[in-house]
Amino acid sequence: MEGTCGICKGRLGPIHYDEPSDPQHPLSFVIDEIKPVSRWREFGYESPRAAAEDWNNLQPAHYCCNAFKSNQIAGKGQVLAQKIVKDGTW
Ligand SMILES: [Zn+2]
């Protein structure tokens, strides 16, 4: 599962696999569900579990990208994330 962040497509740089996944490490590694499991019916899954266990529905991502996505403010989040990288602060 190593690779580029599937949300920002690597625009924020490589994922920091060696850091803990917490808000202090916005570029740390998390597993992102491409299609939100909570909307499993919309995507044709038989159950929420089927969505959560579909490897094709999982991708590596930055902690910050995943957090912004799950807050459903992706557009605004990417601007914030770019700011984080630019001035190195959360
Ligand atoms: Zn990212």
pLDDT in tens, the chain (90 residues): 458 999 999 999 999 999 999 989 999 999 998 988 889 999 999 999 999 999 999 999 999 999 888 765 445 555 556 665 665 554
Instruction: Quote the pLDDT of residue 36.
Output: 84
pLDDT computed for residue 76 by the predictor: 52
CA pair distance 50, 10, nearest whole angstrom:
28
* pTM beyond cutoff 0.85: no
Cα 66 to ligand 1 centroid, rounded to whole Å: 8
Query: Is residue 81 in some structural domain?
Result: yes
Question: How many domains does one find in the chain?
Answer: 1
Q: Is 73 inside any structural domain?
A: yes
Determine contact, residues 7/62, Cβ cutoff 8 Å: yes
CA of 39 to the centre of ligand 1 (A): 22
Instruction: Flag whether 90 is in a domain.
Output: no
Classify residue 29: in a domain, yes or no.
yes
Q: Kindly state whether residue 2 falls inside one of the protein's structural domains.
A: yes
Domain that holds residue 16: 1-85
**pLDDT at res. 14:** 95
Q: What does the pLDDT read at residue 82?
A: 61
Residues, CB-to-ion distance under 5 Å, ligand 1: 5, 7-8, 12, 62, 65
